[in-house]
Amino acid sequence: MEYKSTLNLPQTDFPIRANLAKVEEEMLGKWEKEDIYHKILAKNKVPGTRGQVPGTYILHDGPPYPNGDIHLGHALNKTLKDIIVKYKAMQGFYAPYIPGWDCHGLPIETQLLKELQTSNFKLQNILEFRNKCKEYALKYVDLQRNEFKKLGIFADWAKPYLTIDHTYEAKIIELFGVLAAKGYVYRGLKPIHWCPTDMTALAEAEIEYEDDRSPSIYIKFEILNPKSEINSKLKNPKLPLDKPWSLIVWTTTPWTLPANVAVAAHPEYEYVFLDVGPEVYVVAEGLLDNFVSKLELKEHQIIDKTKGKFLEGMLCKHPFIAREVPVVNDEYVTLEQGTGFVHIAPGHGAEDYQVGLKYKLPILMPVDEKGYFDDTVPDFIQGKHYDEANKLITEKMKENGSLLKLEFFKHPYPHCWRCKKPVIFRATEQWFIAVDHKELRQEALKAITKTKWFPGWGENRIRGMIETRPDWCVSRQRSWGVPIPAFYCVKCKKPQMTGLFNQAIVELVKKDGTNGWFAKEAKDILPAGTKCPDCGGTEFTKETDILDVWFESGSSHAAVLETREELSWPADLYLEGSDQHRGWFQSSLLLAIGYKGRAPFNAVLTHGFTIDDKGKKMSKSLGNVVDPQDVVKRYGADVLRLWVASTDFRNDMAASEKILKQVQEAYSKIRNTCRFLLSNLGDYQVPGTRYQVPGELLEIDKWILLKLNRLIERTTKAYNEFEFHLVYHALYDFCVNDLSAFYLDMSKDRLYCGGKNSVERRSAQFAMNEILNAMIKLMAPILSFTAEDLLKYRTLNSELGTQNSVFLLEMPKADPKYLDTKLEERWEKILKLKEEVYRELEAVRGRKEIAASTEALVEIGTKGREWAKEIEALLPLVLIVPQVKLVAGEAITVKHAAGEKCVRCWLWKEDVGKEPEHKTLCGRCANVVAKITP
């Protein structure tokens, strides 16, 4: 008879090849059609359970810019969030996830200006321009939304939050009003790039560097302090106290000298005192040679030397204005060129401004918006253009002897991208948030301590930044954004931004969006009869600046968490790249403290950046860019998701073709293991017989269930601590080591050849059913498509079949009844024994004494292995050999088994042929076959 038909061979419709493209398309369709996102929320919705389990869990999405296709960093960020949200939901948390986009801002504005410039667009029509910006932003919101969906991210994609929503914009204005009312908002001077031709502020992105000819001058700042007071290390008794001593400053912008208020030295550099005959010069030691040759100094002698930090606080004479200027310390001073002393004009430079803040230096700004000097400067340059002033100032210093050297050189200088003319740094009135008002900084620092930071170093990073940050300049001279909600009284010139002034704008923006602000005059926005609270004036003008986009995105906690019905304030988690300690985390924190006195998050998680497998940044020119769309197309979104999970996100995350191939291999191993389990559970689904083991579970099955429950413990801990790479390793190791290398091999004989309803076979199926059910759920937050696909093939089977999405199921919990530590210890010994047996088996096969393990008799010496007696009956199964004998002594010997080979199970057994009906079968097989064929 044909015995093959009596075997219980594995069978499943689950395809051998993954074909993720097809599966993913099908699952995306299913999730959308069945609205699984909202079904999960509905299942977990328990009102008023914040802070409990199950309760609410809010991961608040940081909004990306919609100005291009998503890149790998976006994919990584959204996938990490998705893993967390799905895991929390499967734990029973009500975890709504509202994705957002940061729609205003310079990247879009610049892009549009570039496009429109070629089509002769007139900038005067700001509303038309803003509408085009909006169109542009919405186009990319749509594009990115589709790209994110394809990654399998669950979110309320139909109703995301956009920073251009009217409700969002109105909330920003309301929040600004609250901060203004509490006194955090003020106006002050700050230098910005300024085009004197176009009379406008320019953003960094609008600057083009071109070579320009500039003067290069060395000038003296004579030291005013009594020379005997100078705190140098060397007490030289022969110091030439009668000669004038001067710090030598090098600059290429003589026209900024009228605004000079200090000279900066690097605190750690050495500065030398150089006696050149009639006077003494002070320059950095590292630039001495250069200086001596530039000035062609013949006779010179170093008389003293000191560190820059000892010069701090000294006073010098301005070279042509009756002004005393202090020496300050600044780490930005370099030894690249010049003298190691830098002239500081806080009104004319970004670094100068920072130094000015630190030393509370005055910000002088004698240049008007067209680039001409006002009347606060000496007569000889009053009313002159800054370029002309360069020459006049140089001549003046030549006359009074403070100029040591003048030459000209070409160097890259910032130019305006519109008119191509040189631009200047010019201090203008800007809006600020005062970080030291009402202890804002201290409160923010306290809130940092109360927040959980993943990884932990994030805490020190943001603490350091908040500790040292200057006031926040929140105004921008742009068009595509939310206006600074302030009016100016025409009579007294004071800005008005609180109370009814704020309310009027909030109402307007709720109705018309911020376009309403640009479309209307102040008198049409304010209620009739509005009076200036300071002077009673009745006429007002509008502020023309807009808010920094970081103010917009930093308001999201108020504009989204407070306004969306399904959300609540504060969030449980913010999760972004580690650059956001400087950006979104910080702006959100400061605004929330000012607004509500508390951090908007309970925990913050940061991830690294994507790099290639050689540690290089991804760039088009290097050709090492991994494009998520391309990965999804060629490998499948699940492989990309597995890559995200497999990489420790705390460091930079490496991706390349090679790495993706490795991840794909790992993916295949996990999937194949699941397929094997599935294919052996085909008959474990007959109603009435599921779960039933006709007798007690075999010890080997108890052991693998123990391993499964250890896996559940490990992955639960790792998920809870956001250690997804540990989830990945635990799942992978379980599949490859525990299952493929041991358990599944050990179970094949009883599954295929055992009686269909035998204890041995049903016991294995019971365990395998538990394993597959748990694995599908454990992998679901990461391998979402594959888990959902596996579930589809389990529809009739077990409790999983009653739900139509894996995400509606609960995460498995470790069952203490399987966590038997004695069993665990014994199995460590068993697996060790198996290793020893196989070493011997290989040796015997090498000597051609036996051909396969199916014909082996293994004799195990029980000396030192007394425990083996307790599981004697199980040993053939565990060792996958037909015959095992326990003998005296400690040796392990492998011989050819006695008896004959059973044609059904291929094992050599002594009882083959004992059954007259089935002469070629072993006793077990004859028994099985007899039950099938009556």
* 568 C-beta neighbours (distance < 10 Å), count: 14
CB of 921 to Zn ion, least distance (A): 5
Task: Indicate which single residue of 83, 90, 489, 681 sits in contact with Zn ion (rule: CB under 5 A).
Answer: 489
Binding segment toward Zn ion, per CB under 5 A, in 34-42, 83-91, 105-113, 196-204: 196-204
Closest CA to 765 of 677, 878, 672, 675: 677
**Strand residues in 369-486 grouped as ranges (E):** 403-416, 424-433, 452-454, 472-473, 475-476
With 0-12 / 13-18 / 19 or more C-beta atoms within 10 angstroms meaning exposed / middle / buried, residue 601 is buried
Burial 508-547 (b: 16+ CB within 10 A, else e): bbbeebbbbbbeeebeebbeeebebeeeebeebebbebbb
CB of 554 to Zn ion, least distance (A): 31
Q: H/E element holding 894?
A: strand 892-896
Q: H/E element holding 586?
A: helix 584-596
Q: Is 929 in the site for Zn ion (CB under 5 A)?
A: no
3-state SS, residue 768: helix
Rank residues 471 and 900 by Cβ distance to Zn ion and give the closer one: 900
Do the bridges between strand 571-577 and strand 601-607 make them parallel or antiparallel, or are there none, so unpaired?
Answer: parallel
Binding mask 379-418 for Zn ion (x = CB under 5 A): -------------------------------------x-x
CB of 489 to Zn ion, least distance (A): 3
Q: Is 925 in the site for Zn ion (CB under 5 A)?
A: yes
Report residue 728 as tokens. Answer: 């990945």
Q: Is 911 in the site for Zn ion (CB under 5 A)?
A: no
Task: Indicate which single residue of 123, 158, 302, 492 sits in contact with Zn ion (rule: CB under 5 A).
Answer: 492
CB of 920 to Zn ion, least distance (A): 9
Q: Is 750 in the site for Zn ion (CB under 5 A)?
A: no
Counting residues that bind Zn ion (by CB under 5 A) gives 18
Q: Is 541 in the site for Zn ion (CB under 5 A)?
A: no
Rank residues 181 and 492 by Cβ distance to Zn ion and give the closer one: 492
Rank residues 4 and 298 by Cβ distance to Zn ion and give the closer one: 4
Which amino acid type is present at position 518? F
What backbone torsions phi and psi does residue 808 show, to the nearest 5 degrees? -95, 0
* DSSP 8-state symbol, 279: S
Task: Indicate which single residue of 72, 355, 746, 922 sits in contact with Zn ion (rule: CB under 5 A).
Answer: 922
Task: Indicate which single residue of 537, 577, 594, 899 sits in contact with Zn ion (rule: CB under 5 A).
Answer: 537
Rank residues 401 and 536 by Cβ distance to Zn ion and give the closer one: 536
| 887-906 residues near Zn ion, rule: CB under 5 A | 902, 904-905
Binding segment toward Zn ion, per CB under 5 A, in 114-122, 153-161, 486-494, 581-589: 486-494
Q: Is 199 in the site for Zn ion (CB under 5 A)?
A: no
Taken in order 531, 537, 539, 545, the sign of the CA dihedral is negative
For the residues of 286-340, what is the DSSP string, one character each? GGHHHHHHHTT--S-EEEEEEEGGGTTT-EEE-SSSS-EEEEEE-TT--SSSS-S
Report residue 240 as tokens. Answer: 């030439």
**Strand residues in 21-137 grouped as ranges (E):** 59-60, 100-101
**Between the CA of residue 712 and those of 19, 643, 727, 730, what are the distances in Å?**
28, 21, 10, 9
Rank residues 768 and 928 by Cβ distance to Zn ion and give the closer one: 928
Q: Is 522 in the site for Zn ion (CB under 5 A)?
A: no
How many helices (H) and strands (E) the chain has is answered by: 28, 32
CB of 212 to Zn ion, least distance (A): 14
Rank residues 589 and 877 by Cβ distance to Zn ion and give the closer one: 877
Binding segment toward Zn ion, per CB under 5 A, in 192-200, 380-388, 677-685, 776-784: 192-200
Q: Is 224 in the site for Zn ion (CB under 5 A)?
A: no
**Distance from first CA to last CA of the chain, Å, rounded?**
13
Separation CA 422–CA 409 (nearest Å): 16
CB of 213 to Zn ion, least distance (A): 19
688: Cβ–Cβ under 8 A, 6 or more apart, which residues? none
Check: CB of residue 440 under 8 Å from CB of residue 590: yes
Q: Is 532 in the site for Zn ion (CB under 5 A)?
A: yes
Rank residues 53 and 492 by Cβ distance to Zn ion and give the closer one: 492
Rank residues 181 and 535 by Cβ distance to Zn ion and give the closer one: 535
CB of 332 to Zn ion, least distance (A): 27
CB of 354 to Zn ion, least distance (A): 26
Rank residues 494 and 520 by Cβ distance to Zn ion and give the closer one: 494
Rank residues 508 and 925 by Cβ distance to Zn ion and give the closer one: 925
Check: CB of residue 327 under 8 Å from CB of residue 247: yes
Q: Is 195 in the site for Zn ion (CB under 5 A)?
A: yes
Binding segment toward Zn ion, per CB under 5 A, in 182-190, 298-306, 484-492, 608-616: 484-492
Q: H/E element holding 270?
A: strand 270-275
C-alpha gyration radius of the chain = 38
Task: Indicate which single residue of 49, 110, 197, 334 sits in contact with Zn ion (rule: CB under 5 A).
Answer: 197
Rank residues 357 and 903 by Cβ distance to Zn ion and give the closer one: 903
Rank residues 424 and 782 by Cβ distance to Zn ion and give the closer one: 424
Q: Is 1 in the site for Zn ion (CB under 5 A)?
A: no
CB of 850 to Zn ion, least distance (A): 18
Task: Indicate which single residue of 198, 395, 512, 683 sits in contact with Zn ion (rule: CB under 5 A).
Answer: 198
CB of 492 to Zn ion, least distance (A): 3
Separation CA 788–CA 24 (nearest Å): 10
**Between the CA of residue 846 and those of 795, 881, 900, what are the distances in Å?**
47, 17, 22
Binding segment toward Zn ion, per CB under 5 A, in 123-131, 387-395, 489-497, 562-570: 489-497
Rank residues 72 and 526 by Cβ distance to Zn ion and give the closer one: 526
CB of 127 to Zn ion, least distance (A): 23
Task: Indicate which single residue of 34, 534, 799, 824 sits in contact with Zn ion (rule: CB under 5 A).
Answer: 534
Contacting residues toward Zn ion, per CB under 5 A: 195, 197-198, 416, 418-419, 489, 491-492, 532, 534-535, 537, 902, 904-905, 922, 925
